Structure formats: C-alpha cells, structure tokens
Structure 1
Amino acid sequence: MGARACETDAREHEGAQDDTRRTSRRVSELVDQGLVDRGEIEALERVAERFSVAITKDLVDLATPGDPNDPITKQFVPSKRELRILPEERVDPIGDDPHTPVKGITHRYPDRLLLKPVHVCPAYCRFCFRREKVGPGSEVLSREELAAALGYIRAHEEVWEVILSGGDPMILPPRKLAEITAALAAIEHVRVLRLHTRVPVMEPGRVDEVMARALRAPDLTTYVVLHTNHVRELGPKAREAIGRLVDAGIPMLSQTVLLRGVNDDAETLKELFRELVVLRVKPYYLHHGDLAVGTGHFRTSITEGQSIVRELRQGLSGIAQPTYVLDIPGGYGKVPIGPGYLGPEGEDGRRTVEDPWGRRHGYPPGGGEGAG
C-alpha cells in the first residue's frame, strides 16, 4: 500500500476522533461539569499525567454529578486513589507482551488470537488492564503493520477465531472495519470474528446500519461482545445501538468486570444480567479485577467474588449467568474461579453435592458399575 492510502486512513481516523470532540479530556472540564470538586484539581492533574482522561458526552448524560455512589462517575472520572500503586500491580497484568509474535497480535491460545488494530477508546475506564497503553495519541496499525498481522493469521491454520480488540475497534471508520472483516473472511481457516467493544454504551451514535454491515461478511460468523458493568450504562441510546446490531443478525454476548463500589453485590449484577438478556445479549464473562497499576481500590477478593456468584446461582436464570473468570497474571491464561459445589470422592466412590442454597446431598458412584 502506498503513502496516499496511509494518509487516507489517517484522515479517516482523525475524522472519527473529531466525532468525539464533545469528549471531556481535561480535569478542568470535569470540574465545569460538576463531576469532580475544584479542590481535587491538583491531585487529579497528577493522575492525568500518567493515565488517560476521557469521558464522552453520552456518559456524562448518564452520570449523576455529586452522587458519591454514581456508577458512571466511579468508572470514568479519575480519582486520586489511582496514585496508590501496590507492589503486586503490573503494567501488563494479563501478560500480553510475551504472546505478541508480531505487532497487533496476541496469540495466547492455539485456536484463537487477538488482533488489535487500534489502541484508542472513546472514553477511558479507570480500571482498564491496558490503561498505560491505551490513550490519546496512541497508535493505529499502519497498512504495512496490519498486512503483517493478517499474514501471521494466514500462516497459522490452527486459528479458527479472531478477536478484534484494542483499544476499541469500533472507534475505527466503518470502511476500515469492513476491510478488516473482508480480509479475515478471505482466510479459509478463520470461521469466527469476535469484536470486543464498549462503544454501544460509551458513544452509541457510532453504531448505525453502516457499522453493522461492516462487521458481516460471507463465510464468517461475527459476534459482538459488549463490555458493560452496570445497568445504568444501558440508557435509551445504548439500547437502540444494541438493537441495531442484533437486528442486523449479529449475536451479542457481554463481559463485565467485578468492581468494588460499582457492582460488587448480587442484586446489582442480577439487574444488569437480566436486562442484558431482555436486550438479547447473553452474559458471557464476569472478570475478576486485574492487577493493573493504580486500580487496587476497584478490586474485590476472590472469596468475595465467589460469594456473589454463589448468590447469583440461587436466584438468577441460567441464561443470565456469566462465568466468573480470572486472567492469571503473567500471561498464563483465563480460568473459571466460581464457587465449587462438588465434594471430594469418598472411599466408597460417593460424593456430596451442595445445592444452590447450601444443602448437601449424596451422589452415588458414576460409571454405571453393576449394570447388566
């Protein structure tokens, strides 16, 4: 690809950024909007020197300024608590770097990989596990770099699924997304495209019919995974955006991060997961908080998380329950860490099984011994 094509991509990306000109990126703007107190400016400016600051107009409209328990403010407005760095926290908490064979690719599992064409989001979550790599001015893969990443995928026939991540890939212009979708569809062994995004809640106006068409191609099945943490994020515009994707024939899943002070109780999560199912979005993952730098105030203990998930099991439909997972620090993969219900096997081969309400029951040895 020539320089002119690269310049076109750059202009289109800048155009996408222009669409977010109402995004607040300065602490002073947050003060003017009543989202932070004027007396906190000095501390928050120190936060902004290290970590990105960005909250879209759509999110500001959903926030309740002055409410210390507002889930929107807690997720997107910087806090001086981010300056407290714990010894166990990491710049690369889930270990992307050791699994990056070429720029833009993270290949941790044999049959699937991440393709990260952009490291920009419409807004910046204060708990982001890539928070020191995602921000204003962060790079987009050049035409040459994207071609090399696609070449890697072509060369690895074990790759069945490609996950578009970043940053948020839905911040790219639909034309660019359509090019990536078509290129992946042309790779015979790639059958599934999964796109991870916050755009339908951060900036739902981006999700129109053109965007939905850009995500589909013959011989390729596309899933969109929506990251949402609280039912308050699902305002009228977000609901319309989700509906446009599902009505276009794109199945949707969701992922949620367990966040102290935002959604760390069963009733809050029940409300979110039930509403997602109503919107035709299947809850997929509930993530335990990663060891990202400056995010200790968001993390629960695993024991607390398991207790919440146990309570969900008692009173929430199976189709509304995600899998509680932990990304093992260091790049060792994602594993389920939900509560256990099956007791150890006794000498006679019997086990005890705990029901959702804590009552224990015996279960006979398996395998059909003695059948005749």
Structure 2
Amino acid sequence: MIEVTKQKLDQETPTDEALKKWNDWKWQEQNLIKDVKTVEKILNIKFTEEERKDIQETIDIFPMSITPYYLSLIDSKDYKNDPIFKQAFPDKRELHIAKYDMLDPLAEDKDSPVSGITHRYPDRVLFHISNVCAMYCRHCTRKRKVGDKDCIPSREQMEQGLDYIRNTPVIRDVLLSGGDPFMLSDELLDWILGELNKIEHVEVIRIGTRIPVVLPFRVTDNLVNILKKHGTVWINTHFNHPKEITNSAKEALRKLAFAGIPLGNQSVLLADINDCPRIMKRLVHKLVENRVRPYYLYQCDLSEGLEHFRTSVGKGIEIMESLRGHTSGFAVPTYVIDAPGGAGKIPVMPNYLMSWSTNKVILRNYEGMISTYQEPSDYRHDVCDLNCETCNLQLKCQEGEEKEAIGIAKLIADYNEVITLTPSE
C-alpha cells in the first residue's frame, strides 16, 4: 500500500529519488493531506454527496491533517473498518457533544501556574512546548486546541516555563508534551533539553510523542544524537494498534533503543479499533519485541466529541484479565482512568486481593485459583516521626524532596495526626 501511495503522490514509478523524497520527514510535513478530494484520489474511493457534506462539516470544526505515510497504511478495500482510517479521518459523530463531555476534562488549564506548565503531581510537571502535531488524531484529548494555533512558543515564552521549573526545587521529573515535541527543530529541542539539564533538581526528562507512529522518518540520526547527549531522557510513544508497527516504525524504534533511550508506550482504548483482547495482546507483544515497554492503557477521556470512541470500563477490565498471567508481566500495561477535574491517573484493575484477616490475605490468580498468604507473626515497624537522621533505615535526604505526606498517604503516615480527608471546593 505504501508503494501504491507513493506512485499516486509522485505520479511516477518509485525511483531512488522518489523513495528518498518519501523518506524525508520534511517532505511528508509539506504534503500533509487536509482535504477530502485528496483522500479519495489516493485511496481510490468515492464518498457520497451526503457523506462529503458531513465530513466537511466536521473538518470545519475539527480540522483534518494526515501524513502521507500514515494514510498509506489504510486498507482502501475495507477502509470503513480500518483502524488507521478511524484514527485519522473525520467522523460526523465528533460533532455530537454528550452530556458529560468537557472542553478540558483533565483541568490542565486550571492546574497551570504559568503559561505552558501543568503542575498536578507533587514532584513532576507537564511542559507544553509545541502546538504542532504531525497528524491530528481524531481521539485527541486536547481536541479543543487542534488546529487552533499551529505554532511553536517563542523562546521567551518557553523561558517562563523554564523559570518556573528552576524556581520550584520539588520538581524532579519534567514531561515535554504538545502538540508533539519532535515537531520542533533539532536546534530548538537541543536548547530546551540543554536548559533542563542545567537545572540541578531535574532528574528525569520525558518526551511524549506520536512521531514513531505517524511520521517515523522524523527520527533521524541527528535527532537521536541530540537525545543521547542530554542525560536521562525517556520517550513514551503512542501506538494503539499492531498495524501501526510497520518496518518504518520499527526502524525508528530501533534507532532510539540502540541509543540507549528507555521506551514506553501509552495506548488509548478505542471502540471498534482496539477494544479486543486479541488485538491488545498482539500489540503489546509487538511492542516488547521492539524494546518498547507497554506503560499505560488509557480509558478514553471525556473530551468533547469523543463519545463514539469510548468503551465501557468493563471492556478494559476484560482486556486486563486477558493479559495478566497470560503473557509476560513486563508486557502488561497499567489500565488507568485519567479522572475528570484534574484528579489524575487512577489505576483500574481486576480484584486479585479477595479478602484478608489478622494473619492472612486471600488471593486469586488469573486462572481463578484461590490461595492464602500468611502474614509474618512478629513484624514490627519503627514508628515514623519523619526525623530521618535518627532512623535506623539509611536515607540521605536531598533538597527539594517531598517530606510531607499528601492525600491518602497523609492518613496512613504515623507522624500525621489527620484522621479524615474532607473534599473542598
């Protein structure tokens, strides 16, 4: 299918020059597909006038932008059921705003102390450094921003975020997000990573990207060399279906893995795309085969226009039951709901702890076998007064470390006298 698309885009038999152009990520970016007629021409399909009208109404609200590479993966003979087509092509159902849909379900704007920064968890922040994506995914949780401002913040704007991180020593983990950070130029990305690495309390830099999925040619040798030189950089990809793991995607992942960069993957559970235990198992197997650790399986967010993508939570639990015990533990992602209102990621899983008593816990395994685990009869822990210098457990505290417990941990901590948590505001 890739070869066919190359011929149609170039109007020539693929030559070395044509292949070179196809593999140039900037050429792909310059030839993004944004109109229905081009899709019809490349896939050799024809929409009815009513379908074309519905599609255009959707595009007017939520723009379309597809890389030639990603479009080439669509099976034109069965495009309506194709998982690539459904993730990339507009659907009139996106215009339906369900009762519980929200413009900003994760409250990213509310938890933003300065422009570009979302600070929700105690020791880490999300740094929004680009509004540009290689492709507009139809299930995007930031759908409110799609096509709004396809721009990259200036260095002066980014400095505001950097200053916040510099002046907040509790931050040890920075997640670069967007848009897609890899749509920045090599020079700008190099500068941002360099500035973050100068901040002593920043221990980890993470990059969330869909580039290996929709534009793998962007993972150039120069980009990899930049990532290699900037300390502890982790990358999370976004593969949703095994069909997305092509030879080109594998090559991009190979370059990153061989550079020693830890790779994870965050999938979204999508109705009629990957809501199948067999599909999800095949996906995680192909990921680990390419040295990508399945990290999260997200329940689809409550963003406006995404109801047709959402499954029941029960379907997610069913998929987790089909993975735990049925495949390698490191191939099993954590199924989470990124809870509305900024409550953060909450793990959801089958119940394996069935009951417990003073001395035993009752467990069940993936087969349904029930077993007991005997608690130790003489375990006594040291009562914690938070005075680590006098504790017999060896811990050297560092500046900026979170010392006071927050949330449920506050109720459990020996040194805290709080006995209830009362929701406010």
- Normalising by structure 2, we get a TM-score of 0.80
> Which position in structure 2 is the counterpart of 1:32?
41
Distance 1:147 1:334 in 2: 28
Asked whether the equivalents of residues 181 and 217 of structure 1 are also in contact (C-alpha less than 8 Å), the reply is no
* Aligned counterparts, 1:234-245, within 5 A: 234-245=245-256
Asked whether the equivalents of residues 223 and 251 of structure 1 are also in contact (C-alpha less than 8 Å), the reply is yes
Alpha-carbon distance, 1:27 to partner: 2.5
Distance 2:82 2:28 in 1: 26
Deviations 1:297-339 (A, max 9, x none): 1111111111111111141111111100110101111111111
Asked whether the equivalents of residues 53 and 124 of structure 1 are also in contact (C-alpha less than 8 Å), the reply is yes
Residues 1:363 and 2:373 aligned together: yes
Larger radius of gyration: 2
Deviations 1:60-94 (A, max 9, x none): 11111241321100111111121221010111111
| One-letter amino acid matched to 1:350 | K
Residues 1:225 and 2:236 aligned together: yes
Distance 1:291 1:33 in 2: 33
Distance 1:305 1:136 in 2: 32
> Which position in structure 2 is the counterpart of 1:114?
126
Residues 1:124 and 2:136 aligned together: yes
| One-letter amino acid matched to 2:110 | P
Residues 1:354 and 2:372 aligned together: no
Distance 1:61 1:93 in 2: 33
> Which position in structure 1 is the counterpart of 2:87?
75
Asked whether the equivalents of residues 111 and 118 of structure 2 are also in contact (C-alpha less than 8 Å), the reply is yes
Aligned match of 2:279 in 263, 268, 288? Answer: 268
Alpha-carbon distance, 1:177 to partner: 0.5
Asked whether the equivalents of residues 63 and 73 of structure 1 are also in contact (C-alpha less than 8 Å), the reply is yes
* Aligned counterparts, 1:169-180, within 5 A: 169-180=181-192
Asked whether the equivalents of residues 152 and 184 of structure 2 are also in contact (C-alpha less than 8 Å), the reply is no
Distance 1:370 1:91 in 2: 50
Alpha-carbon distance, 1:19 to partner: 4.8
| One-letter amino acid matched to 1:354 | R
Aligned match of 2:30 in 21, 24, 43? Answer: 21
Residues 1:157 and 2:169 aligned together: yes
Asked whether the equivalents of residues 28 and 68 of structure 2 are also in contact (C-alpha less than 8 Å), the reply is no
Aligned match of 2:354 in 325, 340, 343? Answer: 343
Alpha-carbon distance, 1:100 to partner: 0.7
* Aligned counterparts, 1:1-372, within 5 A: 19-34=28-43, 37-39=47-49, 40-67=51-78, 68-135=80-147, 137-218=149-230, 220-346=231-357, 349-364=359-374, 366-369=375-378
With 159-168 and 130-139 compared, the bigger mean Cα shift is at 130-139
CA pair 17-243 structure 1, distance change in 2 beyond 3 A: closer
Alpha-carbon distance, 1:283 to partner: 0.7
Of structures 1 and 2, the one scoring higher in RCO (CA 8 A, sep 6+) is 1
| One-letter amino acid matched to 2:63 | S
Distance 2:46 2:134 in 1: 20
Asked whether the equivalents of residues 52 and 131 of structure 1 are also in contact (C-alpha less than 8 Å), the reply is no
Deviations 1:7-47 (A, max 9, x none): xxxxxxxx987651221112232232336724311001111
| One-letter amino acid matched to 2:201 | H
Distance 1:243 1:281 in 2: 10
Distance 1:79 1:30 in 2: 14
Asked whether the equivalents of residues 229 and 263 of structure 1 are also in contact (C-alpha less than 8 Å), the reply is yes
Asked whether the equivalents of residues 359 and 377 of structure 2 are also in contact (C-alpha less than 8 Å), the reply is no
- Normalising by structure 1, we get a TM-score of 0.91
**Tell me, which stretches of 5 or more residues in structure 1 are unaligned?**
1-14
Alpha-carbon distance, 1:216 to partner: 3.5
Distance 1:19 1:126 in 2: 19
> Which position in structure 1 is the counterpart of 2:383?
none
Secondary structure of the 2:104 match is coil
> Which position in structure 1 is the counterpart of 2:417?
none
RMSD: 1.9
Distance 1:314 1:77 in 2: 36
Secondary structure of the 1:280 match is coil
Distance 1:50 1:69 in 2: 24
